[in-house]
């Protein structure tokens, strides 16, 4: 199978809150990133995954640059692949459609 990933992947294990973007009544579920790049990420989770092609929203707390100003990566993406892992765990490849960085106080980072 040909490699379909774009961009360099970084092996980061970070908490991610994620879920179906087309279900506004659904709450975000916890998971953990396996790796992340500028174009997407791979999530491992104990919860069921939205179907391939489904839109998802996500929020990842990035490692601290400044302990007084946490930074979150928030975005919308699309499920491109679902892998059944051990037991009930699933691995989900998500391609970003839109991402943004959010900080409580950008001034403290400069």
In a domain, 94, yes or no: yes
Give 109 or 58, the one with higher predicted confidence. 58
Among 7, 95, 102, 85, which residue's Cα sits nearest to residue 55? 95
In a domain, 73, yes or no: yes
Query: 107 vs 59, 68, 74, 103, 110, CA distance in Å?
Result: 21, 11, 19, 9, 6
Measured distance CA(98)–CA(74) in Å, rounded: 8
In a domain, 49, yes or no: yes
Q: Of the given ranges (2-11, 21-30, 74-83), which has the lowest mean pLDDT?
A: 2-11
How much is the average pLDDT of 59-80?
86
**SS3 of 106, please?**
helix
Structure tokens at 45: 């989770």
Q: How many domains does the chain have?
A: 1
User: 81 is in which domain, residue-wise?
Assistant: 15-103
Query: 19 vs 50, 82, 104, 107, CA distance in Å?
Result: 7, 14, 23, 31
How much is the average pLDDT of 79-98?
94
In a domain, 9, yes or no: no
The confidence score (pLDDT) of residue 88 equals 85
> Given a cut of 60, is residue 2 above it in pLDDT?
no
In a domain, 34, yes or no: yes
């Amino acid at each position: 199978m040909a490699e379909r990933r774009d961009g360099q992947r970084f092996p980061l294990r970070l908490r991610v809150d994620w879920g179906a973007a087309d279900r506004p009544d659904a709450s975000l579920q916890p998971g953990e990133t396996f790796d992340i790049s500028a174009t997407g990420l791979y999530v491992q989770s104990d919860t069921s995954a939205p179907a391939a092609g489904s839109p998802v929203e996500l929020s990842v707390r990035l490692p601290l640059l400044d302990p007084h100003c946490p930074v979150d990566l928030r975005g919308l993406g699309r499920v491109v692949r679902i892998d059944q892992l051990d037991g009930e765990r699933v691995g989900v490849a998500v391609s970003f459609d839109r991402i943004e960085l959010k900080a409580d106080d950008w001034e403290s980072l400069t």
